[in-house]
Chain A
């Protein structure tokens, strides 16, 4: 009997909330690239006698996240202490929400493996503080085989929202989609950068296999996946590993495994020697958090348009194909840029083309972010309108576009520098170019004149040359007319 397997995946995502200050003290959260231990204070280094004070923005961001995930927001929540010893944990406990999370019982919709929308259950979203960072190095700076570690508390106390999904994900692809959708959501909400590489979004997976003969393999926790690709690869590897073991009648050890991106395998995590008895109890230094209906309504009202709503609206409003909409709404900043182009007069379809191809390419080449776009939406709209109005050709416009990328200047200046005069090549000037092209391609001219150019292939060829020579400054219909006139003559 051939065995069939069903993959069961649940994900825990830690999202760093990008508030200005830490969750329990007023230190800056801007720790990336900062001097080690420069964003610290007595509170976040766990000095004896210090006490936590809750950041209101963290609560707001958490509620935003919970609402966007269709969760029930708990009006009365408490913080708890999770007690364990580790060098990056200054108080030897983490303040978190264990017993009553801020939000629970929601969902996030993704496209399932069957192409249909699927709701992935969200068990809970809760607030907690991040730990510091450890750097492992030897005295000579080498990392391998070092005998000591170095602690940097800058990250300690940065606010986190932990989102736990139900084990509803059926494949590594779905897991990747879920994380991608979560990332897009938090960026839309403005509560986090959602960047896996930078560490502002960290994903741990729990994966197991159900077997058609009734067995259900143990759950394995997989950690250390630092990109969407790594996530998918890790879970694919783990799926195969588990299925292989189960097929041979072996058991799956319930353990934590680390993804090794270089070797493409998961390996058992060297277990922390001690048991994980966290001895959770309510945080006595923080009274309960009470949220009323008015507050929740206010947060709801201040929420930005969510990705799904924006996608629907773009489809209806701009009548673009789905693939285009997906690209344009990838980030709220890009969507806003696009809409600004349209608002400034650009035709929706053409604006979509320009933004999706030329602009995005340019941003990539220059390693720039959309908020830092070299060409403003208004200028791009102007350019598009020039082409639409027949004032310049698409080719000319592309030249102008490149020029604007090189040097920040006005549209008029860029046009002038490219040597383009709007609609300039006509009449005698045009005829001069046609004559020149004809002389250089006499044999082709002969073919056309002799009536053998059945499909106008040669005509088009000549036209192309003329257009090129006129550097797109001639109107295509005028060129065609003039060329035909010329060819008709003897």
Chain B
């Protein structure tokens, strides 16, 4: 079997057992990237040289009998909004083209500390704003399962890379569904941890109170491995929670005796036929595995979550992106005769249309005279949504919901921004409430497209929902490992 098809767990074991070398694994992944990239365009930067060098170092260490960590020798790909001091970090934007950060994100340090090999940076929607990776300033990424379709977004490159076998695991970021939706479109596990579980230090901020870094993987075991590496308190991030790291474990019957909440009434009519059928089947499977199905209500979350999010996220983004002015980093408009000209031209030329839309919206909702009507109102709605979830979790341990109303759509299909926004209906409320949620594959559509489901848990139940998702997603792991794009 080609080495690039191995899971992270298999790589770690295989290396320890001297079945193969790390340089072989990395070479296999790099070759896979080379062969698939012309069709997929999932990568913005491939660190071939440093990766091979790191691999050689790891081989040497293994030769000396040293153990470098739980991700020893595992190739990992990072979304290009995660700061790497040895590689460019562009956030798929012209305004940061060729920017090399002067520091490493905390998660990057953690991965290196566990012996991982960073293969490169993945494509995404510009500054993580979007649901298809079509907003990348450097061209879209294609879905490995059907290259006429999007891989999802904003972490589309990270998802496509893992689905296509570039690496067994990757990291993305999720602000309104940007891990869970692409995971769903690409047949992967994708997890957004509880807000505060994973350090944001080094994640280029989009919406500070909503962003979280999270992993993609083809197997639950791999997800467990990487989560164990990155879920830890970071004193550099004041929103990082100072609590013991969660104990991720895959047990035998995680659903037995559990109450799983569903929103069949609220979801009814909103899904494609395939997805509707898949969801119903998934609910049945939960029952078979010993869970009790409880109908819960999240009417406000589903009805008002989008409006709330599309006020708060752009508001925070308009402030977070104000620093891109060509002075300290990134591309600058070279002929500016005044500071004002430097600002407006650098930003006017450097930002793509979706980013501009969101900055303008955010600027407006925070502006004098409108703060109360929009921003403050949205914060109140957010609280109401949090309370709604809290009430639901008094009845159930997890909520089962699709990640997206449809499977992967065609490139260019969702051309009206507002329509694209509406598709975030099932993922956004989770970020508003700061909850953990995991996407897993639940089957395939009649045309062979992956169909994904989502499990949402109360805050800090990350380990529990991973366990449950593993039980439900296990059946697909074989087919996923085969992967898309031969």
- Whether chain A touches chain B in the assembled complex (some CB pair under 8 Å): yes
Contact indicator A49/B203 (Cβ below 8 Å): yes
Inside 8 A of A286's CB, which chain B residues have their CB?
238-239
CB of A85 within 8 Å of the partner chain: yes
Choice from A51, A90, A91, A279 contacting B238 with Cβ under 8 Å? A51
Contact indicator B239/A287 (Cβ below 8 Å): yes
CB of B62 within 8 Å of the partner chain: no
The CA-CA distance from A53 to B366 in the complex, in Å, is: 24
Contact indicator A49/B83 (Cβ below 8 Å): yes
* Chain A residue with the shortest CB-CB distance to B369: A277
Choice from A50, A87, A92, A279 contacting B371 with Cβ under 8 Å? A279
Contact stretch, chosen from A40-48, A186-194, A371-379, A437-445: A40-48
Contact indicator A53/B319 (Cβ below 8 Å): no
Contact indicator B323/A46 (Cβ below 8 Å): yes
Report the minimal beta-carbon distance from A301 to chain B, rounded to whole angstroms.
28
Given contacts A47-B102, A48-B204, A273-B340, contact A281 B96 (CB under 8 A): no
The number of A-B residue pairs with CB atoms under 8 Å apart is: 100
The CA-CA distance from A286 to B91 in the complex, in Å, is: 24
Inside 8 A of B1's CB, which chain A residues have their CB?
none
Contact indicator A48/B319 (Cβ below 8 Å): no
- Which of chain B's residues 215-250 have a Cβ closer than 8 Å to chain A? 235-239
* Chain A residue with the shortest CB-CB distance to B321: A92
Contact indicator A279/B319 (Cβ below 8 Å): yes
The number of chain B residues touching the other chain, given as a range, is 35 or more
Given contacts A42-B103, A279-B367, A279-B371, contact A51 B236 (CB under 8 A): yes
Contact stretch, chosen from B179-187, B325-333, B468-476: B325-333
Interface of A is mostly: loop
The CA-CA distance from A81 to B340 in the complex, in Å, is: 21
* Chain A residue with the shortest CB-CB distance to B202: A49
CB of A285 within 8 Å of the partner chain: yes
Contact indicator A48/B205 (Cβ below 8 Å): yes
Given contacts A91-B322, A279-B367, contact A85 B202 (CB under 8 A): no
Contact indicator B325/A48 (Cβ below 8 Å): no
Contact indicator A47/B205 (Cβ below 8 Å): no
CB of A54 within 8 Å of the partner chain: yes
Choice from B205, B238, B327 contacting A54 with Cβ under 8 Å? B238
Contact indicator A50/B201 (Cβ below 8 Å): yes
Contact indicator A47/B329 (Cβ below 8 Å): yes
CB of B5 within 8 Å of the partner chain: no
Q: Which of B202, B319, B324, B327 has the most CB of A within 10 A?
A: B319
Report the minimal beta-carbon distance from B93 to chain A, rounded to whole angstroms.
10
CB of B315 within 8 Å of the partner chain: yes
CB of A216 within 8 Å of the partner chain: no
The CA-CA distance from A92 to B317 in the complex, in Å, is: 12
Report the minimal beta-carbon distance from A184 to chain B, rounded to whole angstroms.
35
Choice from B105, B343, B368 contacting A277 with Cβ under 8 Å? B368
Given contacts A51-B236, A92-B323, contact A83 B366 (CB under 8 A): yes
CB of B445 within 8 Å of the partner chain: no
Report the minimal beta-carbon distance from B453 to chain A, rounded to whole angstroms.
30
Contact indicator B340/A90 (Cβ below 8 Å): no
Choice from B102, B103, B315, B322 contacting A93 with Cβ under 8 Å? B322
Contact indicator A53/B375 (Cβ below 8 Å): no
The CA-CA distance from A284 to B82 in the complex, in Å, is: 19
Report 29 cross-chain contacts, Cβ distance below 8 Å, ordered by A residue.
Answer: A42-B102, A42-B103, A45-B328, A47-B102, A47-B103, A47-B329, A48-B91, A48-B99, A48-B323, A48-B324, A49-B81, A49-B200, A49-B201, A49-B202, A49-B204, A50-B202, A51-B200, A51-B201, A51-B236, A51-B238, A51-B239, A53-B235, A87-B327, A151-B327, A277-B367, A279-B366, A280-B366, A281-B366, A285-B208
- Further contacts, 19 of them, CB under 8 A, given A48-B99, A50-B201: A42-B103, A46-B323, A48-B91, A48-B204, A49-B205, A51-B201, A52-B238, A53-B235, A81-B319, A92-B322, A92-B323, A93-B322, A149-B339, A273-B340, A277-B367, A280-B366, A281-B315, A281-B366, A281-B375
Binding site for B on A (CB under 8 A): 42, 45-54, 81, 83, 85, 87, 90-93, 149, 151, 273, 277, 279-281, 284-287
Task: Give me the 9 closest cross-chain CB pairs, A-B, nearest first.
Answer: A92-B322, A279-B366, A284-B208, A284-B209, A48-B204, A49-B202, A49-B83, A49-B204, A277-B368
Binding site for A on B (CB under 8 A): 81-83, 89, 91, 96, 99, 101-103, 105, 200-205, 207-209, 235-239, 315-316, 318-319, 322-325, 327-329, 339-340, 343, 363, 366-368, 371, 375
